[in-house]
Structure 1
């Protein structure tokens, strides 16, 4: 097996413990966590719900998160090699959660001691990144307006927490010049856009005013997104409008990713309320479709230059939620799955397969149906999504977190320009689409133990936001986000699912254990930058293994802020 960097330069044999990658003249040292790969055939993935046993007790309350969803993040706050779990508070006046990994398969909640209670705002999306280059991961929280709690005060200030290196955090929002961010922010992403060695920040915003339970009309407008260029001195400068990337759609998904593989990070934005061709004529929508902003490098003044990629044949989702990136067909380029609504035969969640570049623009093809990612005869609202290798066979699989709005699926009658319609109790099972290694997927969520459903302890609960108060029905798991990490460092990837009406779930991957020896073990890489970007966010790694019919090339990218307002582990 060999590992290659962005320029396809051979680094070294897999059996060497350290490597150097030169990316934009920045050296990244790679430390191998696990270096055994014995084949391409693995047992089917097996997961166990270990939420209670691991000490996880997160329950979302009746807030805006119940509608548009909240985020979560895996973050190694103390650099001990074990990922910790952070979930922002969903309700103003209540604390967030920081679960510190005890390195024995469990967690201890330390948010109050760490200074991360953040009770003054309602947390939504989370992005992780070392913004000041001190070697410790910092936390950015996008705060959406909490329309369900009177008085409705409108947008709330986002928060940037500096990691002090001693398991405590300090609010540095004002000092970092982020205090003017008073939009109804939903999601955010970190990445080094100008390749100067420090992390910049993109923030996706939503509707600026009003109660989310009321009608949304064509007179409403979404708030422009913001881009903060890192000045390298602990402060940021907002440049979204100047750079032409402010995108005034109702953004629910962002990711910084090198989609054209030219060595710099581009920005992908997915928006709610755009205009897919299948909707009823006359319905209201905002004219800001899902967009790739192609990074064309910096000008003579060192300022980034972007081009809105409008010729890539990227299929718009109509109501874009989460985004995930992965090379699902192992052909050497990145593909993108975007979550959205599925209504009857109208499928808006989209798998965009990257194809040959034309005139400098990467082209995409919609492979959703061909790949078997359409769930027939079902109404679904998908939020968090993530490509990851569930069974360690070298091909990324896809997890999709579903959940109804307000605890029930609606008629979604857009022809009347409203969210309205009758809320119905409907189970929203999550999906684990296993990669068949031939361009198609098969849903194995139930067999793998990660389908979700009605938790036994919650079966008698009545959803507090039931639109039919005289009708009682059980609260199904209504998922919002999913994040991935091998939190127990046993060689397979585990997942945390944030739910909207019941306890969130920690699923431990038991595909590799003593009773189920693997045919292949995963190669895990932790990248360490020698500059301020110490997690090497934005780096791409290719791994080549095998020969002949067993030859395999895998492509991975380190990212912060993807899925639906969430950040998975930085370990590849």
Structure 2
């Protein structure tokens, strides 16, 4: 037995010695990646350009920017150049050269993508926090961008949202603001003129409210055919109801349960209990005194009135959750939950839905081992064109992670 084992080891060693160094390295890398796979996901992080995705990332979005039919990735970096990576449709990515997205260093926090000037391609907006300039990058149709003008708002923004709020077929802009660091401010709504220039209609369309806003979402929560505005704040979340013409009224007091001491970073909407309406998930942190880390799950009664069912439906959370994303991980037709924690080397968490909106942590079953990040953002999308939902994680200060969903 010992002789056979020795012969096997010798044969293996000779084989490796005869193999070119590059091939050996590739084989070792493939084995290392395979060791990081799970039942559901393949770790394809090696497909990402090393230096490009190791910056101070704050947000991620995906869209086809160069009109080749494949998803590309946009990263907002804090005090570093923002990043665009073109996808090859197979889960591989390459960084666009500097001349296609010039390097400008601002405190970029959030991303919105839409055809702002009506020319048939997708443009990019970066919201900045510590600068008064928000970047509007216009696409030439092939994925090269120029900054024709900026929005100088005198706002400290952590959120930007793009959507047609007044039903004229042109995407408008909303910014979630503070007046200064840790000082509440007014959120802004800018109406698109159709050519990529905008008119400030905040005072006409938004209630005058002072908040420290971290996230904005538009969705039809009351099923009346128009999109309402969900506002995630450090100091109490809000629901603003659309009158159908893009004018919003604060109805938080009658639609949200009494506020807990939560400091929300992301708002996510999903029908977690399968009853045909959108429920609310608040990803919370506790950086400010007196705040609670517990994430919240609010159930919609079908008319846009929410009940806090957190204690019945979510496990206790003692982490600083920057984002939660819903995706059907196990193929059972309900939405499961993935979360990321901002503190360094904290595990990404995964929770299975029982079909009725009750979640149980099954991280080790769902995700690869050692998926410990300084997690900022998650993007769920089909990055390799196989019809399955993949996961991209922004890992602040270290290499981002890309998980491709295995085929059934």
TM range (shorter): 0.7 to 0.9
- Give the one of 215, 220, 224 matched to 1:253: 215
How far off is 1:315 after superposition? 5.4
How far off is 1:200 after superposition? 1.0
1:403 is matched with: 342
- Give the one of 372, 378, 386 matched to 2:314: 372
C-alpha distance in structure 1 between counterparts of 2:227 and 2:333, whole Å:
25
- Give the one of 325, 330, 348 matched to 1:430: 348
Distance 1:168 1:501, change over 3 A: closer
Is the contact between residue 483 and residue 495 of structure 1 (CA under 8 Å) also seen in structure 2? yes
Is the contact between residue 90 and residue 385 of structure 2 (CA under 8 Å) also seen in structure 1? no
Is the contact between residue 56 and residue 506 of structure 1 (CA under 8 Å) also seen in structure 2? no
1:188 is matched with: 160
C-alpha distance in structure 2 between counterparts of 1:185 and 1:347, whole Å:
23
C-alpha distance in structure 2 between counterparts of 1:503 and 1:246, whole Å:
41
How far off is 1:144 after superposition? 1.6
Matching of residue 341 in structure 1 with residue 285 in structure 2: yes
Higher-RCO chain (CA-CA 8 Å, sequence separation at least 6): 1
Distance 1:373 1:319, change over 3 A: same
1:311 match: secondary structure: helix
Distance 1:80 1:266, change over 3 A: same
Is the contact between residue 206 and residue 222 of structure 1 (CA under 8 Å) also seen in structure 2? yes
Is the contact between residue 323 and residue 339 of structure 2 (CA under 8 Å) also seen in structure 1? yes
- Give the one of 85, 105, 113 matched to 1:99: 85
Is the contact between residue 136 and residue 148 of structure 2 (CA under 8 Å) also seen in structure 1? yes
State the TM-score, normalized to the length of structure 1. Answer: 0.60
C-alpha distance in structure 2 between counterparts of 1:315 and 1:335, whole Å:
17
Is the contact between residue 297 and residue 314 of structure 2 (CA under 8 Å) also seen in structure 1? no
Is the contact between residue 375 and residue 395 of structure 2 (CA under 8 Å) also seen in structure 1? yes
2:301 is matched with: 355
1:313 is matched with: 256
Matching of residue 108 in structure 1 with residue 94 in structure 2: yes
C-alpha distance in structure 2 between counterparts of 1:227 and 1:451, whole Å:
43
Is the contact between residue 293 and residue 319 of structure 2 (CA under 8 Å) also seen in structure 1? no
Matching of residue 221 in structure 1 with residue 207 in structure 2: no
1:23-46 Cα shifts (integer Å, max 9, x gaps): xxxxxxxxxxxxxxxxxxxxx961
C-alpha distance in structure 2 between counterparts of 1:434 and 1:308, whole Å:
34
- Give the one of 166, 171, 184 matched to 2:147: 171
1:82 match: secondary structure: coil
C-alpha distance in structure 1 between counterparts of 2:292 and 2:266, whole Å:
18
1:46 is matched with: 40
Is the contact between residue 96 and residue 111 of structure 1 (CA under 8 Å) also seen in structure 2? no
C-alpha distance in structure 2 between counterparts of 1:292 and 1:109, whole Å:
38
Distance 1:251 1:450, change over 3 A: farther
2:124 is matched with: 139
How far off is 1:428 after superposition? 2.6
1:506-545 alignment runs, 5 A limit: 506-510=402-406, 512=407, 518=408
1:460 is matched with: none
C-alpha distance in structure 2 between counterparts of 1:81 and 1:228, whole Å:
30
Aligned residues: 366
C-alpha distance in structure 2 between counterparts of 1:84 and 1:315, whole Å:
41
State the TM-score, normalized to the length of structure 2. Answer: 0.83
2:254 match: secondary structure: coil
How far off is 1:207 after superposition? 5.3
2:135 is matched with: 159
2:55 is matched with: 60
How far off is 1:160 after superposition? 0.8
C-alpha distance in structure 2 between counterparts of 1:135 and 1:292, whole Å:
33
1:446 match: secondary structure: helix
How far off is 1:392 after superposition? 2.8
2:46 match: secondary structure: coil
Is the contact between residue 45 and residue 390 of structure 1 (CA under 8 Å) also seen in structure 2? no
1:339-379 Cα shifts (integer Å, max 9, x gaps): 0037999554111111143xxxx21111222113323xxx3
C-alpha distance in structure 2 between counterparts of 1:369 and 1:451, whole Å:
28
C-alpha distance in structure 2 between counterparts of 1:345 and 1:320, whole Å:
10
- Give the one of 99, 107, 126 matched to 1:122: 107
1:444-463 alignment runs, 5 A limit: 444-450=362-368, 453-454=371-372
Distance 1:167 1:339, change over 3 A: same
Distance 1:453 1:315, change over 3 A: farther
C-alpha distance in structure 1 between counterparts of 2:368 and 2:127, whole Å:
28
1:196-275 alignment runs, 5 A limit: 196-206=168-178, 208-209=180-181, 221-245=183-207, 247-272=209-234, 274=235
1:74 is matched with: 62
How far off is 1:250 after superposition? 0.9
C-alpha distance in structure 2 between counterparts of 1:207 and 1:448, whole Å:
41
- Which structure shows the bigger proportion of residues in helix conformation? 2
Is the contact between residue 198 and residue 230 of structure 1 (CA under 8 Å) also seen in structure 2? yes
How far off is 1:191 after superposition? 1.1
Matching of residue 389 in structure 1 with residue 285 in structure 2: no
C-alpha distance in structure 2 between counterparts of 1:48 and 1:245, whole Å:
46
